[in-house]
Structure 1
Amino acid sequence: MNQQIIATPELAGPIRSETRDGMRIDWDVPLPMDDGLALRADVYRPIAEERYPVIMSYGPYAKLLHFEDGYVTAWRKMVDEFPDVLANSSNRYQAWEVVDPEKWVPHGYVVVRVDSRGAGRSPGVMDPRASRETRDYAACIEWGGVQPWSNGKVGLNGISYYAINQWQVAGLQPKHLAAICLWEGMTDHYRDYIYHGGIYCTFAQNWYDMQLKVVQHGLGTRGHKSRLNGELVSGPPTLTDEELGANRIDMWRELFEHPLDDDYHRERSADLSKVKVPLLSAGNWGGQGLHPRGNFEGFVNAASEQKWLEVHGIEHWTHFYTDYGVELQRRFFDYFLKGEDNGWDKQPKVQLQVRSPGEKFVQRFEEAWPIPRTQWTKFHLQSEAYGLAQAEPGGSIDIAFRALGDGVTFLTDPMESETEITGPIAARLQVSSSTTDADLFLVVRLFAPDMKEIAFRGALDPHTPIAQGWLRASHRKLDPAKSLPYRPYHPHNEVQPLEPGKTYELDIELWPTCIVVPKGYRVGLSVRGRDYVYSGGSGGRLSNMKNEFTGCGPFLHDDPRDRTMDRFNGETRIHIGGGGENYLLLPIIPVK
């Protein structure tokens, strides 16, 4: 990228340091990078002059911005429903998606928050997740490992962005990195985030506008003033719009210019074969559209010999701050950063909050993922009554729907007994199109005996289905070396247009999920030509998101640049019978 950094004055004078709330706080500590730029960090540490393990985060959401000031609806919803978040803390230092130092410093940790390049108090060009950021993060880790207050062991912790870049930097294997906790963080920039099944998702470009540009370094007096210490969150300089634009990438353009899985996406993805540090990967069943695929793929494919998986429900940010989440994180880090004999070495490799309708969760431990006793069961699309059953279809039929429409739903009979579905899901369909392409949106849904749909609280949207998957038919090519029966893998390295009217076999990945289906309920598979919409009404909106929630949260695939009328506004057909298979492969878990 050929962009000129607009010069901004360095923060002058000695480091501002103070003691309050039982902590020694050093504000805006300069961390020198190899190109001469100095990033800025806040350091929260115990008052006693000893050596402590370090919990570090590095990211773009501005270390001096209070959680409530940047994400008011998320904050209020969390603290209203989970008052333990507020307990044992003044909450003066709460920030979006990073640890509360008041819950870590008293337990003998140093908390370091670093503003990434171009964000908050750190100058430079804002280029999210690029290799420059990853190298910066590694330098920060090595800095934290040699400070006089450090015991030489650095752990990384945080949600979303603060988890994603952990996967990336762990691949560089910095010497002082001792453990990572990846709370709801993707690993694959292309598949998890930008192009679901090859279909462009508009979330990232809107996220860039709503969450990054608003805290870009150089906003100065035009940005927030911190309630933490009174400083300008994105200062001290105040730049013009033109200067700010020169100091950040044009994400709306860059993402759309890379429709295949090329070096641009690989640079911003994790190399899991090089991730060898002990890790705890914490996912969310309701995170369809962004993070859970990465949590599962990271856990399975990381080269680490010591790795654990935890999966929970409810909102994206909540459990990271509840007693449940904090205690889990602390046990993990106490073991690897402090060397405490707390039994973590005997912790089962997989800890699941098994989900039932009504947001009911039961904790259960397993030894591996996918669960070894899984009964992989094909539910075939039926030629009559839009059924979904284990029996092969008895006849042949073509089912047509408008290619940009709501498609068709296939239903099982009422379940004869309570049935648990937990794990990855895959589908195979025989499809033709009247045009040279077709986008398929697959949605696994749950219906009560009265045929009312049962939705679930998602990581963001309060009305989400069980699971979702996507595939652009021209991206149907599989990588046989990486594909599994329950998780097909598409290389997304070329476009293979369809011949109108010709039938093609498509293997489609649906993201892992968990639901205990009550007796008498039905499971449905909707094959659609556009995003799922919950029929029960609006899910409201969050202050940091552009769109109203209608079932998919902010993860929409409606950019007209990507879905042009000449390629996608036709008719799609599913061909049942005639020798080809059409099925949904479900992970049925027998009772122990």
Structure 2
Amino acid sequence: MSEPLNPPHPPNPPNPLNPLNPLKTPQPSKSPPLTIRTSFPYETTREDVRVPLADGTTLFARVWRPVTDEPVPAILEYLPYRLSDWTAPRDWQRHPWYAGHGYASVRVDVRGHGNSEGMPGDEYDSTELADGVAVVNWLAAQPWCNGRVGMFGISWGGFNSLQIAALAPEPLKAIVTVCSTDDRYDNDVHYMGGSVLAVDMHAWAATMLAFVSRPPDPQFVGDGWRDMWLKRLEAVDPFIHTWLAHQTRDAYWKHGSVCEDYSAVRAAVLAVGGWHDPYRDTVLRLVEHLPDRQVRGIIGPWSHQYPDRGLPPGPAIGFLQETLRWWDHHLKGKDNGVMAEPKLRSWISDSHPPATVYPQLSGHWVGDPSWPSPNIAPLAYALQGPPVIVRSPQQTGLDAGRFFPFGNDADLPPDQRDEDAKSACFEFEVPSEVRVLGRPRVTLRITSEVPRGQVVARVCDVAPDGSSTLVTRGVLNLSAREGRDKSVDWPPGTTDEVSFELNGIGHTFPPGHRIRLAVSSAYWPWIWPQPGSEAGFTLDPAGSALELPVRVGGADSGITFEAPEQSAPLGVVHPVTLDEQRPERLCVRDIAKGEWRLEVDPRYGGTRVYPDGLEFTEDAVETYVIQEADPLSARTRSDWTIRLHRPELAWDVTVTTRSEITCDATDFITSNEVVCRDGGEVVFHRTWEQRIPRTSG
């Protein structure tokens, strides 16, 4: 019998976010208590309005404003995620709060989504960005606005805030971009290290297929909702077709990638991320490439969430108060010291045992005046030993955790010992504390007998009891070794040196632990395996090394944040449903077939009832299947069902989608289906089947 993967811990406490799903692995430190504000410096009003565009289309908007005779700055959050239902609970936590502090806080649905008019398009396409510029200019021209505008958002809203800032509309003076990217190719949900991201390339395309197929709400658009819906549905095309058609960094991905020209951004930028979010490296790049007078960065221990929400891992911070300082300085001209803060404020976590969720992480904040920081020095570890064949089973990576952790119980990677056993491992003693801050780098001397493949590097913190906690990781598609904009086959039988960065991290290795570098040739389902990659490669430690960015100087005290605040919640009710008993992540092994199946419930929101009577039901399952010796057996599937029901209007619609990807040696094969019902009547049904050549992936 093997030893437990985690040390014993006290009984799990109740989870205030979901009483039926207790929190796990409690930590002794605590987040500051959340304060719900019901009174503010200003009384507020709220109204739904339509923003007119030049082509006659109107966008649906909700505006919270302070009650005052003086014009005030406006701040905009601009998303496709439906302000009248899907993001409404989150919107109510922050927009009324900003309004109560003297800002017109505005939430707008992107064209073709929610209750906005027009047809949906690709993510961040030129129409979406041009519409966003028009909204910024419209806000600045309103009599209640003083002409100065800010933008903020997380994920999609953080992306387009940054991209619209690069278009530099004159009224846009400042943005807050959270969990976003400046590089749409190599730091988004599509590709990683030049490799196809099976885990979210497919899952997010499938999610957006379901989302874009949702109807407008008759309570807000009236009796014309069905005609609007059917016209939208006729315009739908699965995103996966476009994303897989561009397997290298070409003009498609350069569009909207701010890293192409940082100087185009004129607004002040507060960039915020979390070490458990896949986009955290964007904060480091923005702080590096934007001038000191223009940018500040914060990276905490968080997942893909706003840092005030209290979702694991914590501790949470007073994010709204911190952003208010940003707005007050850049939109109201207050000299409040916000630009005197260190250019980058980072959380460095203490060593912690492996777990799939951490309600709290212990650690500390540090500040650096610039990035790269004068407080960081490289520490190189040379790999030792004879050449080793790296031929990982194709299921290596099942314990990678979720690409987008949202604070759910099964999001983070469990103990890595099983993954390490499928990899070539090199270990380094830690005689004294090593504090890593930034992006590690590996240099590996590789011999490959096949033209295609990938190399995956993980850094783990190995405790004296043998438990292995994933610290960070990185991937390189070997055909992308000469640049992400090209695909160059590896000459079979030759040896070459490859070097690539791993994701950034703030982590402390304590004395007595070991630093483990684990190198594998597979990482499913994060990375779609290359044809022939079952052959693996030979790694020669001679000339190979791990380089860690170690923080060796700088003050570690004096950085504090206020306790989190929010405005009063919307009051959404979450009824208990049977599907909530389904495991978040379930791994099934078919021993006879040598096949592994991972089933994932993304748990975005489930069933909820809104105060206005809307009943919203959402159910999704993602499935990833592979045979342990066959990279061409890889297949993914995503099934979604969304129901919207207003009993008082006798409105009851359902959207059902199915998305699948399989492959052979030359092509990806995609299959997608959408079925929409109004009551019991099928009003739309379409399937798409495509073969897309594997030019690089």
TM-score, length-normalised on structure 2?
0.64
Counterpart position of 1:539: none
Question: Compared with structure 1, are the counterparts of its residues 60 and 114 closer, same or farther at alpha carbon in structure 2 (3 Å cutoff)?
Answer: same
Residue 304 of structure 1 deviates from its aligned partner by 7.0
Residue 291 of structure 1 deviates from its aligned partner by 1.1
Question: Compared with structure 1, are the counterparts of its residues 507 and 154 closer, same or farther at alpha carbon in structure 2 (3 Å cutoff)?
Answer: same
Equivalent residues in 2 for 1:151-230 (5 A)?
Answer: 151-193=146-188, 194-202=190-198, 203-210=200-207, 213-214=210-211, 216=213, 218-220=215-217
Counterpart position of 1:544: none
Contact 1:420 1:589 in 2 (8 A): yes
| Residues 397-447 of structure 1: CA deviation (Å, up to 9, x unaligned) | 243324746452434333111110111111111112221111111111111
Contact 1:403 1:572 in 2 (8 A): no
Percent pairwise identity: 24
Amino acid at match of 1:192: N
Contact 1:39 1:115 in 2 (8 A): yes
**Partner Cα separation in structure 1 for residue 149 and residue 209 of structure 2:** 26
**Partner Cα separation in structure 2 for residue 60 and residue 573 of structure 1:** 46
Contact 1:219 1:239 in 2 (8 A): no
Counterpart position of 2:606: none
| Residues 119-173 of structure 1: CA deviation (Å, up to 9, x unaligned) | 1111222321112111111111111111111111111111111111111111111
Question: Compared with structure 1, are the counterparts of its residues 353 and 564 closer, same or farther at alpha carbon in structure 2 (3 Å cutoff)?
Answer: closer
Contact 1:370 1:424 in 2 (8 A): no
Instruction: Give the secondary-structure state (helix, strand or coil) at the position aligned to 2:60.
Output: strand
Determine if the alignment matches structure 1 residue 334 to structure 2 residue 328. Answer: yes
Residue 231 of structure 1 deviates from its aligned partner by 4.2
Residue 106 of structure 1 deviates from its aligned partner by 1.1
Question: Compared with structure 1, are the counterparts of its residues 199 and 241 closer, same or farther at alpha carbon in structure 2 (3 Å cutoff)?
Answer: farther
**Partner Cα separation in structure 2 for residue 243 and residue 206 of structure 1:** 25
Determine if the alignment matches structure 1 residue 347 to structure 2 residue 341. Answer: yes
Counterpart position of 2:454: 439
Amino acid at match of 2:468: E
**Unaligned ranges ≥5, structure 1:** 1-20, 68-92, 222-229, 384-395, 455-464, 478-489, 533-554
**Partner Cα separation in structure 2 for residue 109 and residue 24 of structure 1:** 11
Determine if the alignment matches structure 1 residue 24 to structure 2 residue 53. Answer: no
Equivalent residues in 2 for 1:260-339 (5 A)?
Answer: 260-270=248-258, 271-287=261-277, 290-302=278-290, 305-321=293-309, 323-339=317-333
Equivalent residues in 2 for 1:5-404 (5 A)?
Answer: 22-27=43-48, 29-67=49-87, 94-95=89-90, 100-123=94-117, 124-193=119-188, 194-202=190-198, 203-210=200-207, 213-214=210-211, 216=213, 218-220=215-217, 231=220, 237-238=225-226, 243-270=231-258, 271-287=261-277, 290-302=278-290, 305-321=293-309, 323-358=317-352, 359-383=361-385, 396-402=386-392, 404=394
Determine if the alignment matches structure 1 residue 584 to structure 2 residue 546. Answer: yes
Name whichever structure is richer in strand by fraction. Answer: 2
Contact 2:275 2:303 in 1 (8 A): no
Q: Higher mean Cα deviation, 330-339 or 311-320?
A: 311-320
Determine if the alignment matches structure 1 residue 424 to structure 2 residue 439. Answer: yes
Contact 2:287 2:344 in 1 (8 A): no
Residue 346 of structure 1 deviates from its aligned partner by 1.7
Instruction: Give the secondary-structure state (helix, strand or coil) at the position aligned to 1:171.
Output: helix
Contact 1:119 1:126 in 2 (8 A): no
Question: Compared with structure 1, are the counterparts of its residues 408 and 181 closer, same or farther at alpha carbon in structure 2 (3 Å cutoff)?
Answer: same
Instruction: Give the secondary-structure state (helix, strand or coil) at the position aligned to 1:255.
Output: helix
| Residues 35-70 of structure 1: CA deviation (Å, up to 9, x unaligned) | 332222111101223211111011111111254xxx
**Partner Cα separation in structure 1 for residue 229 and residue 101 of structure 2:** 44
Select the residue among 459, 466, 469 that pairs with 2:471.
Answer: 466
Instruction: Give the secondary-structure state (helix, strand or coil) at the position aligned to 2:150.
Output: strand
Contact 2:390 2:519 in 1 (8 A): no
Residue 212 of structure 1 deviates from its aligned partner by 6.2
Give the length in aligned residue pairs: 470
Contact 2:346 2:506 in 1 (8 A): no
Instruction: Give the secondary-structure state (helix, strand or coil) at the position aligned to 1:326.
Output: helix
Counterpart position of 1:572: 537
**Partner Cα separation in structure 2 for residue 510 and residue 437 of structure 1:** 21
Counterpart position of 1:484: none
**Partner Cα separation in structure 1 for residue 289 and residue 429 of structure 2:** 37
Instruction: Give the secondary-structure state (helix, strand or coil) at the position aligned to 2:538.
Output: strand
Residue 99 of structure 1 deviates from its aligned partner by 6.1
**Partner Cα separation in structure 2 for residue 432 and residue 240 of structure 1:** 57
Instruction: Give the secondary-structure state (helix, strand or coil) at the position aligned to 1:214.
Output: helix
Instruction: Give the secondary-structure state (helix, strand or coil) at the position aligned to 1:58.
Output: strand
Contact 2:375 2:553 in 1 (8 A): no
**Unaligned ranges ≥5, structure 2:** 1-41, 310-315, 353-360, 397-421, 555-697
Question: Compared with structure 1, are the counterparts of its residues 304 and 56 closer, same or farther at alpha carbon in structure 2 (3 Å cutoff)?
Answer: farther
Contact 1:99 1:158 in 2 (8 A): no
**Partner Cα separation in structure 1 for residue 232 and residue 292 of structure 2:** 40
Contact 1:374 1:589 in 2 (8 A): yes
Amino acid at match of 2:285: E
Instruction: Give the secondary-structure state (helix, strand or coil) at the position aligned to 1:136.
Output: helix
Q: Higher mean Cα deviation, 107-116 or 263-272?
A: 263-272
Q: Higher mean Cα deviation, 499-508 or 185-194?
A: 499-508
Residue 118 of structure 1 deviates from its aligned partner by 1.3
Q: Higher mean Cα deviation, 342-351 or 297-306?
A: 297-306
Instruction: Give the secondary-structure state (helix, strand or coil) at the position aligned to 1:135.
Output: helix
Residue 236 of structure 1 deviates from its aligned partner by 5.6
Contact 2:445 2:497 in 1 (8 A): yes
Residue 94 of structure 1 deviates from its aligned partner by 3.0
**Partner Cα separation in structure 2 for residue 198 and residue 127 of structure 1:** 21
Instruction: Give the secondary-structure state (helix, strand or coil) at the position aligned to 2:276.
Output: coil
